[in-house]
A and B are shown apart, each in its own frame.
Chain A
Amino acid sequence: MAFSEKFANYLIDIKNLDNEDEKDILKYGSEVFFTTICGTTITLLIGWLVGVIYPLWAILLVSIIVRKLAGGAHSEYPISCFFITAFFYTLIAFLAIKTQFFFEQYKNTVIFLASMIALIVISKKAPVESLAKPLGFYQKKQLKLFSFIAIILLIVIQISFLYLQLYPLINYAISLVLIWHALMLLPLGQYLVSYIDKFYLMLKEVNLNEKN
């Protein structure tokens, strides 16, 4: 049994909860809370070890806002999810640092292209729901509007940074992560996540076979 479920059961025992709905909500809250805390901590730890913690903070902050409002592709297994979160966000931060010279030369073009891609994809595709969490009609409408507003605000922040010549690395990292989230809203992103899931299943089978 996962730690999150054990902890929820501990709370249920102590609080003497009988209501099945309350139990389900606590178990769900526990799973969401601990997977988010673990995912974020592991990502930040890897980012710190690789030396990319500075742009990684901005990437995570933007990701929290965009994913919460626009949704995106999801992994079926927590382990491959940790891998996707930790590996790809660290990779984006690493790329931002290593290709910063490119941004210095073409900053207007990069920000314009990334903003347009994010705006077009979000207006067409957001919110992308997962099978595990279907969305209602009004909830979809609200999330579409809020995700659009969030992207507009992010673009305003980016343009302000650009003209005030503040935080160029953060600005570039935001552009890269917006492109990543646009990809995650498209079928291509879902294929990528499902391939990582398949790879994880394959590794699991190999491990099981070796043990047997």
Chain B
Amino acid sequence: MKKIKMLFVTFAAFTLTIAAFINAASACTFIHYQPNLPKSLRE
């Protein structure tokens, strides 16, 4: 059970990181709300 939980957490963290990088590379989000881009992704 712990292994499945860790697998889920790793997959979720990977997905969210990819989402952050894709958004940083594009002009903005697809919907009409744009959260503040973190400094680490501006560089």
Contact = CB atoms under 8 A, between A and B. Distances in A.
A134 B32 CA distance: 16
Interface residues of B, number: 33
Given A11-B13, A28-B37, A81-B33, A68 B27 contact: yes
- The A interface, classified by DSSP as helix, strand, loop or mixed, is helix
Contacts, number: 133
Interface in B1-43: 5-6, 9-10, 12-13, 15-21, 23-42
Contacts of A68: 26-28, 30
A47 to B, nearest CB: 14
Nearest to A129: B27
A36 B37 contact: no
Contacts of B27: 67-72, 126-129, 133, 135, 143, 147
A143 B33 contact: no
B41 A82 contact: no
A26 B20 contact: yes
A120 to B, nearest CB: 18
Contacts of A132: 34-37
A127 B34 CA distance: 14
B38 A21 contact: yes
A36 B29 contact: yes
B37 A67 contact: no
Contact of B16 (A29, A35, A81, A85): A29
B30 A36 contact: yes
17 contacts: A11-B13, A25-B38, A28-B23, A28-B36, A29-B15, A29-B20, A32-B20, A36-B19, A36-B30, A39-B30, A78-B33, A132-B35, A133-B23, A133-B27, A134-B42, A147-B27, A193-B32
A8 interface: yes
Contacts of A30: 16, 19
Contact of A82 (B26, B31, B35): B31
A67 B16 contact: no
A15 interface: yes
Nearest to B14: A29
B18 A130 contact: no
A85 B26 CA distance: 18
Nearest to A73: B32
A14 interface: yes
B25 to A, nearest CB: 8
